[in-house]
Amino acid sequence: MKDKILGTLYGQAIGDAMGMPSELWPRQKVQQFFGYITKFLDGPESNIVAKNFQKGQFTDDTSQALVILDALFETDFSPNRTVIARRLIEWGEQHHAFEEEIFGPTSKAALYGIKNQQDVQQITDKAETNGAAMRISPIGLLFPTSKLAELVDYVREITIVTHSSDIALAGAATVAGAVCAAKEDFSWDEMMQYAFQAHDMGLALGAPTYSASIKARLKAGLQLAKKYEDDEEAFLQAVYDVIGSGVLLSESVPAALTIAYYSREVKQCAVLCANLGGDTDTIGAMATAVCGARTGCNAIPAELIEQIDACNAHDLQMYGAKINHYLERK
């Protein structure tokens, strides 16, 4: 189990860091500037989002996933909305996330309101962006697949701090569900079916929106993965054109799981996500977390693990050990 835990954590970090340099650039611009990304790169000075990052560094996606874990460590894995909000606000203040547009729009507005003791439900109920889904992957490790309802309720308690819409809860539940099934070595098709079940449970718990369906788009994405199984370039272009790669949950979550399903291992998945265009770091973080949960850490190339450890201050081994200790106590 420890190997699966570390596979998820390092998988998320690798996909995040690989996708960082091309973050929020159109696919054509990514191709023109980079050619084809195959390794960790510095954030280009011309990318206003990525320019302050150096090669191998992960972004707010993985950092916030670790903030959520810190909040759970503080409360012995009993989700506490006040503690989660406080931890996210503290992280945001430390990294100037409110001023420098590091937070996504929904998280920023919600946390700013909480910070100023305001009722933020009107903000969180309308959430359509992927801030909650991008930081949820490790939560899929905490439950066996036999306890899907408990997993989705747990995801809701974490997600609802900043995102309480149906699409947000569905998106976060889909990602967590995929990780949960992956760690138990479900086949890839079985993993997707389990993620669909998690999606439906999450969708029923949130405030209604008129967003496009994550589930429907993921089903379409899986068909694209099969259609273009021997043509990576055509596959990526089809995902970009048909599924989308923007910051909306209805694009980024199905794109991430589609690419995970297609690649099935961390390095190729990270490379594909980095070259997709759009919200590459977030899509990479979600997709490669699922791949890492499925393959385990020992299947990830050692040089990628070493670069993540060398380039980031967070000790992922420590986070993995704490999760493992919790699971051994359960």
Residue 119 annotated as part of some ligand binding site: no
Which secondary structure element, helix H or strand E, spans residue 276, and what is its range?
A: helix 266-276
d(CA 311, CA 308): 5
Answer whether 250's CB lies under 8 Å from 211's CB. yes
d(CA 98, CA 24): 19
d(CA 211, CA 197): 18
Residue 241 annotated as part of some ligand binding site: no
- φ, ψ of residue 220 in degrees (nearest 5): -65, -40
Residue 231 annotated as part of some ligand binding site: no
∠ at Cα 183 (245, 166), nearest 5°? 45
* Contacts for 146 with CB less than 8 Å, ≥ 6 apart: none
Query: Which residue shows structure tokens 């995102």?
Result: 163
Residue 200 annotated as part of some ligand binding site: no
d(CA 244, CA 258): 11
Find, among 199, 208, 189, 181, the residue nearest to 254 by Cα. 199
DSSP 84-141: HHHHHHHHHHHTTTTTTT-S-HHHHHHHHHHHTT---HHHHTT--BSHHHHT-GGGGG
Find, among 185, 201, 212, 217, the residue nearest to 295 by Cα. 185
Residue 8 annotated as part of some ligand binding site: no
* Cα radius of gyration (the chain): 18
Give strand pairing partners of 248.
129
Residue 315 annotated as part of some ligand binding site: no
Please, what's the largest Cα pairwise distance for the chain?
53
Residue numbering of the annotated binding site for Mg(2+): 59-61, 279, 281-282
Residue numbering of the annotated binding site: 59-61, 279, 281-282
